[in-house]
Amino acid sequence: MPQMKRTPQDCPSRLPENTAVKQQQLPACRLQLSATGILSGFFATGVFCLGMGVILILSAKSSMEIEINYTKICASCAKLRENARNFDKECTCSIPFHLTQTMRGNVYMYYKLYGFYQNLHGYLLSRSNSQLLGTDVKDVETCAPFSKSHDGTPIAPCGAIANSLFNDTIILSYKLNSSVHIQVPMLRSGITWWTDKYIKFRNPSSSNLSSAFAGTTKPPSWPKPVYELDENDPGNNGFLNDDFIVWMRTAAFPTFKKLYRRLSRTQHFIEGLPAGNYSFNVSYNFPVTRFQGEKSVVLSTLTWSGGHSLFLGLAYTVTGAMTWLAAFSMMAVHLKLKGKRFSPDDKVKL
């Protein structure tokens, strides 16, 4: 077996390498904190949580929010809309309200839906991304059951989400005085994610929008085709319509609000919304009573911490309190046990 002969150098010792890694002798941090360490950590965390809680609560308090539920106020319109055959009948209703305090800063107007499940699995899937991207306007494959009209024309925009587009028109008017009502100037732009408006949604390329959508039909629930969504601003039509884009970003919960308009801070409204009497003029198109839903309009100012929700601030406060409680009880335990231990440093340890 000459080929088996090897020089000693060729057959290294099988002695395993005596390295820290291989022998599992790596210096290890054992998370064995001393009592003081743990307790001070707990107290510090408690302080942080309490502080953060207070800050958040204050911040939330500083924001203003007014919500006006118009489901019941516009009951007659709701009744009308319950019958799908009346879809072409106009129905408006006016909801007056009083703003006791000036809403300073940027004011945002939302519509809020209750009990509308935008997060249903089937609903969620029923859209065509390639259509919305403008690459193939006739790609309606994934849009069932709203992919094609009865005569087989592809629907644009197709799918259940688009079909159920919130189509109430809400106009806020300000009672400057008893006789003069002025419409509060609202911007319908800038309410979408930038990425949605400029990347995820594109109109099919064509010289003019209506020709771009030639060969398609409007969704069954829509009164107008997609390229006529905004008659005032030709750039706000087609898939690039802000309201449409906002609607297409499906909400996480059955109760949700969606940004509708933002205050254009001009004239009387440079400071924000001044206190006074207002009214919403709603063109009531979106049926909610069919599914026992409700809808409302929300006016809100925003702070760095988001909206008016107090939850996070409270949660932080409570957590901070709990942490302190835990820390105190641990300290008690520690002090009680301290005497019994045979070794002075055999304290609370992890």
Partner 1 sequence: MTEALHWARYHWQRLIHSTNGDDDERPYNYSCLLACGGTSSQTPRPAGKHRLVVPHLQPFKEEYEKFSGTYTNNRIRTTKYTLLNFVPRNLFEQFHRAANLYFLFLAVLNWVPLVEAFQKEITMLPLVVVLTIIAIKDGLEDYRKYKIDKQINNLVTKVYSRKEKKYVDQCWKDVTVGDFIRLSCNEVIPADMVLLFSTDPDGICHIETSGLDGESNLKQRQVVRGYAEQDSEVDPEKFSGRIECESPNNDLNRFRAFLEHSNRERVGLSKENLLLRGCTIRNTEAVVGIVVYAGHETKAMLNNSGPRYKRSKLERRANTDVLWCVLLLVIMCLTGALGHGIWLSRYENILFFNIPEPDGHVVSPLLAGFYMFWTMIILLQVLIPISLYVSIEIVKLGQIYFIQSDVDFYNEKMDSTVQCRALNITEDLGQIQYLFSDKTGTLTENKMVFRRCSVAGYDYCHEENAKRLDSYQEAVSEDDDFADTLSGSLSNMAKLRAPSCRAVHNGPLGRKSSNHLAGSCFVLGSGEGASEVPHSRQAAFSSPIETDVVPDTRLLDKFSQMTPQLFTPLDETIPDPPLETLYIIDFFIALAICNTVVVSAPNQPRQKIRLSSLTGMPIKSLEEIKNLFQRLSVRRSSSPSLASGKEPSSGVPNAFVNKLSLFSRMKLASPVEEEVSPTSESPQGSGNAVCPTEIEKQDSDAGVTDGKVESLPGQSLASSLCYEAESPDEAALVYAARAYQCTLQSRTPEQVVVDFAALGPLTFQLLHILPFDSVRKRMSVVVRHPLSNQVVVYTKGADSVIMELLSVASPDGASLDKQQRIIREKTQKHLDDYAKRGLRTLCVAKRVMSDTEYAEWLRNHFLAETSIDNREELLLESAMRLENKLTLLGATGIEDRLQEGVPESIEALHKAGIKIWMLTGDKQETAVNIAYACKLLEPDDKLFILNTQSKDACEMLMGTILKELQKNPASPGQASLSENLHQPPAPRDSGLRAGLIITGKTLEFALQESLQKQFLQLTACCQAVVCCRATPLQKSEVVKLVRNHLRVMTLAIGDGANDVSMIQVADIGIGISGQEGMQAYVNLLFWYQFFCGFSGTSMTDYWVLIFFNLLFTSAPPVIYGVLEKDVSAETLMQLPELYKSGQKSEAYLPLTFWITLLDAFYQSLVCFFVPYYTYKGSDIDIFTFGNPLNTAALFIILLHLVIESKSLTWIHMLVIVGSILSYFFFALAFGAMCVTCNPPSNPYWIMQKHMLDPMFYLVCVLTTFVALLPRFIYRVLQGSLFPSPILRAKHLDRLTPEERTEALKKWRGAGKIGQVTSKYGNHSATKSERRPTPGSSAVFAMMSPTSCAVEQENLSVHETALDSDYSEMKASEIAGPIKD
User: What three-state secondary structure class fits 181?
Assistant: strand
Element housing 299 (H / E): strand 294-301
Q: What DSSP letter does each residue of 282-324 carry, written as one string?
A: EE-----GGGT-EEEEEEEE-BTTBSS--HHHHHHHHHHHHHH
Q: Which of 166, 186, 163 is nearest to 174 (CA)?
A: 186
Least spacing, CB of residue 95 vs partner 1, in Å? 20
Least spacing, CB of residue 141 vs partner 1, in Å? 10
**How far apart are the C-alpha atoms of 253 and 234, rounded to whole Å?**
33
**Looking at beta carbons only, is 49 or 212 nearer to partner 1?**
49
**Looking at beta carbons only, is 29 or 180 nearer to partner 1?**
29
**Looking at beta carbons only, is 129 or 208 nearer to partner 1?**
129
- Residue 200 DSSP label: I
**Looking at beta carbons only, is 275 or 322 nearer to partner 1?**
322
**Looking at beta carbons only, is 26 or 176 nearer to partner 1?**
26
**Looking at beta carbons only, is 56 or 172 nearer to partner 1?**
56
Q: Which residues on adjacent β-strands are paired with residue 103? A: 273
Least spacing, CB of residue 98 vs partner 1, in Å? 23
Contact by Cβ (8 Å): 301, 103: yes
**Looking at beta carbons only, is 116 or 280 nearer to partner 1?**
116
**Looking at beta carbons only, is 207 or 343 nearer to partner 1?**
343
**How far apart are the C-alpha atoms of 345 and 28, rounded to whole Å?**
20
Least spacing, CB of residue 345 vs partner 1, in Å? 9
Q: Which of 99, 135, 53 is nearest to 277 (CA)?
A: 99
Cis bond before residue 157 (omega within 30° of 0): yes
Task: State how far the alpha carbon of 258 is from the alpha carbons of 11, 59, 241, 295, 349, in Å.
Answer: 73, 22, 14, 11, 50
**How far apart are the C-alpha atoms of 328 and 38, rounded to whole Å?**
11
- Residue 196 DSSP label: I
Least spacing, CB of residue 274 vs partner 1, in Å? 25
Least spacing, CB of residue 107 vs partner 1, in Å? 15
Cis bond before residue 145 (omega within 30° of 0): yes
259: tokens are 């940004």
160: tokens are 């259940």
- Radius of gyration for the alpha carbons in the chain, expressed in angstroms and rounded: 31
Least spacing, CB of residue 296 vs partner 1, in Å? 11
